């Protein structure tokens, strides 16, 4: 487990990630990451625009067919 501190950056706050972790994941300055709130804390994932499109499409389908999916789940 890695520990990082929250730091003030201008009018915002951020965390400084260890260089070795950034390099190990093939990231660099300016890359985007996703932060998800889970039952056990936060999860950080590398942002992939294609995966993001697929997740958005799945959510749209789930919303559009909410009642049908609920009936099928019975």
Kindly report, residue by residue over 62-72, the tens digit of the pLDDT. Answer: 999 999 999 99
Whole-number Å distance between alpha carbons of 31 and 46: 8
Task: Give the C-alpha separation, 13 to 7, whole Å.
Answer: 5
Taking the domains of the chain in order of start, what are their residue ranges?
A: 6-72
Q: Are 29 and 16 in contact (CB under 8 A)?
A: no
Note the pLDDT of residue 63. Answer: 94
The DSSP-derived string for the chain is -----EEEETTEEEEPPPHHHHHHTT--TT--EEEEEETTEEEEEE--HHHHHHHHHHHHHHHHTHHHHHHHT-
Q: What predicted TM-score, i.e. pTM, was given to this entire model?
A: 0.52
Q: Which pair of structure tokens corresponds to residue 28? A: 């660099």
In tens, the pLDDT along 26-58 reads: 899 999 988 999 999 999 888 888 888 998 999
């Amino acid at each position: 487990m890695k520990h990082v501190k929250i730091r003030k950056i201008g009018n915002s706050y951020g965390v400084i990630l260890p260089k070795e972790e950034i390099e190990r994941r093939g990231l660099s300055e300016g890359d985007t990451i996703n932060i998800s709130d889970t039952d056990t804390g936060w999860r950080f994932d590398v942002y992939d625009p294609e995966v993001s499109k697929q997740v958005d499409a799945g959510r749209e389908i789930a919303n559009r067919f909410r009642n049908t999916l609920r009936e099928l789940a019975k």
